[in-house]
Amino acid sequence: MALLLMFILSSFSLVQYEPVKIINGIHVKDEPSEDFDDGYADGYCEAYRDYIGNQYADCAVPPYIDNSNYLAGCENYYKCGFKAGLKHGKKDFPVRD
């Protein structure tokens, strides 16, 4: 009995808990800065790929930004990060005519 109880208690520690919220039907992590950073990197990457004209190219590494200024007022941190990264990337990589 004690062995069974030990097994049950130890199995709970094997389950990883990732805090998730649902905002506007979209699952987002509880850490807004992580979601923002992921979105920022994806937006910056899209601007870079538009610049070089290859949607399958490796992404440029986005510069570090302090995202704390951008988090206020965001309902979807990933989307806010994506927009900010895209805007910054378009400034760094203007599309050629």
Each residue's pLDDT expressed in tens, for the chain with a length of 97 residues: 665 555 555 554 444 444 455 556 655 555 667 888 899 999 999 999 999 999 999 998 888 888 777 777 888 889 999 999 999 999 999 877 6
Terminal Cα distance for the chain, rounded: 74
Q: Which of 37, 24, 29 is nearest to 67 (CA)?
A: 37
Q: What is the pLDDT at residue 14? A: 46
Q: What is the pLDDT at residue 29? A: 53
- Taking the whole predicted model, whether its pTM rises above 0.85 is answered as no
Angle between helices 32-52 and 77-92 (to 10 degrees): 30
